[in-house]
Amino acid sequence: MLKKLPPSITALLLQSAAVVLMLLTVNVTERYVSPLLFALLCGLLAATFSFFAGLAKWWLVIQLIFAPALVLMLAVKLPPTLFLGVFLILLLVYWSTFHTQVPLYFSSNKVWQALEHLLPVAKINSDFTFIDLGCGLGGVLTHLASVRPDGRYFGVEAAPLPFFWSWLRIGLSNHHNCQVRWGNLWDCDLSLYDVVFAYLSPVPMEKLWHKARAEMRPGTMFISSTFNVLDQTHHGTVQVDDLHHSTLFIWHM
Ligand SMILES: C[S@@+](CC[C@H](N)C(=O)[O-])C[C@H]1O[C@@H](n2cnc3c(N)ncnc32)[C@H](O)[C@@H]1O
């Protein structure tokens, strides 16, 4: 049953189970346990439960340190408004991650440069269209709009603060061939674009590939940074010499 739930809910349930189990143990044994030790044991239990529940590696680390970090932060006695402020900022940035399982992280400058070479060849009196699905802070769009002004660049972003940032970035950099909207990539009509770019996560890739196959026109190109589509042979790759050794997977439609 746990496998059907989003990983964040599973993690929360397992963390709660660890706390309840620890409370019962302390109650039954009637021994004094310091708050930090209690939290450390909760973390260990939660991480163990998460391991057996099959959660990804990074969840085990989060589960392990969550309760001890909570106890340590409370000991520092920071003003509660600080936590509220940080929470609201994180909410605006990671707004959609709960549903999409695609957090915000950025393509490197080297990926931007590699994309330049994949754009359609420049032709007199003809432009092309490019979309970044989940455009984050708009770096890909503004870079390409500067180096290849013969294209029209579009971005869609679900998270409010990154959307606002990219909207501002485009406005301030005066790129008239570039626009971004706040919305869901699943509502985009991919038949409108010559190049569709995505840098998301493994989770939506299969569904996105089927959307691209169904909507994109023959002769257009779908590029996914880092995340391949299982069982779907790509037509080319570009290896990027950046910190993460990013790979661009390319499909010609
Ligand atoms: C890994 S970041 C990539 C940002 C940017 N494309 C880049 O290459 O630097 C993925 C972005 O996709 C956004 N995103 C995830 N799912 C989305 C969806 N269904 N609709 C629109 N944006 C989405 C996230 O909010 C996040 O900002």
Q: Tens of pLDDT along 208-219?
A: 999 999 999 999
Ligand 1 pocket, 155 CB below 6 A? no
User: Under DSSP, is residue 13 helix (H, G, I), strand (E, B) or coil?
Assistant: helix
Backbone angles phi, psi at 238, to 5 degrees: -125, 125
pLDDT score of 1? 63
Atom of ligand 1 nearest to the CA of 162: 27
- Of 105, 15, 87, 16, nearest to 55 (Cα)? 15
Answer yes or no: do 188 and 234 share one domain.
Answer: yes
Per-residue pLDDT of 30-69, as tens digits, reads 888 899 999 999 999 999 999 999 998 989 999 999 999 9
4 versus 128: which is more confidently predicted? 128
pLDDT score of 3? 67
Answer yes or no: do 118 and 73 share one domain.
Answer: no
> What contacts 20, CB < 8 A, 6 or more positions away?
none
- Of 132, 147, 139, 129, nearest to 169 (Cα)? 139
Answer yes or no: do 123 and 242 share one domain.
Answer: yes
Answer yes or no: do 138 and 247 share one domain.
Answer: yes
The answer as to whether 93 is a domain residue is no
The answer as to whether 124 is a domain residue is yes
User: Under DSSP, is residue 140 helix (H, G, I), strand (E, B) or coil?
Assistant: helix
Give the distance (Å) from ligand 1 centre to CA of residue 77. Answer: 35
Read off the CATH number of the domain in which 200 is found: 3.40.50.150
0.95 exceeded by the pTM? Answer: no
13 versus 233: which is more confidently predicted? 13
Per-residue pLDDT of 148-199, as tens digits, reads 999 999 999 999 999 999 999 999 988 889 999 999 999 999 999 999 999 9
The answer as to whether 39 is a domain residue is yes
Give the distance (Å) from ligand 1 centre to CA of residue 100. Answer: 9
Answer yes or no: do 128 and 238 share one domain.
Answer: yes
Percent of the chain scoring above 90 in pLDDT: 69
pLDDT score of 117? 94
For the chain, how many structural domains are there in total? 2
Ligand 1 pocket, 180 CB below 6 A? no
Per-residue pLDDT of 177-191, as tens digits, reads 999 999 999 999 999
Supply the range of the domain harboring residue 118: 109-252
pLDDT score of 7? 84
Question: Residue 140: which region, alpha, beta or left (left: phi > 0; alpha: psi -120 to 50)?
Answer: alpha
How far is 128 from 121, CA to CA, in rounded Å?
Answer: 9
Burial class (CB in 10 A: 0-12, 13-18, 19+), 35: middle
Answer yes or no: do 237 and 117 share one domain.
Answer: yes
Q: How confident is the model at residue 123 (pLDDT cuts 50, 70, 90)?
A: confident
Answer yes or no: do 68 and 115 share one domain.
Answer: no
The answer as to whether 162 is a domain residue is yes
Per-residue pLDDT of 57-108, as tens digits, reads 989 999 999 999 999 988 888 888 988 999 888 888 877 777 777 778 899 9
Answer yes or no: do 115 and 57 share one domain.
Answer: no
Among 131, 157, 243, 244, say which to mutate for ligand 1: greatest number of ligand atoms within 8 Å of CB.
157
CB atoms within 10 A of CB 165: 18
> Which two structure tokens, joined as six digits, stand for 235?
């037509």
Answer yes or no: do 144 and 64 share one domain.
Answer: no
Give the distance (Å) from ligand 1 centre to CA of residue 188. Answer: 13
Ligand 1 pocket, 140 CB below 6 A? yes
The answer as to whether 114 is a domain residue is yes
Q: How confident is the model at residue 25 (pLDDT cuts 50, 70, 90)?
A: very high
Q: In which residue are the tokens 């994309």 written?
A: 115
Answer yes or no: do 61 and 121 share one domain.
Answer: no
Q: Is the pLDDT of residue 234 over 90?
A: no
Give the distance (Å) from ligand 1 centre to CA of residue 37. Answer: 39
The answer as to whether 27 is a domain residue is yes
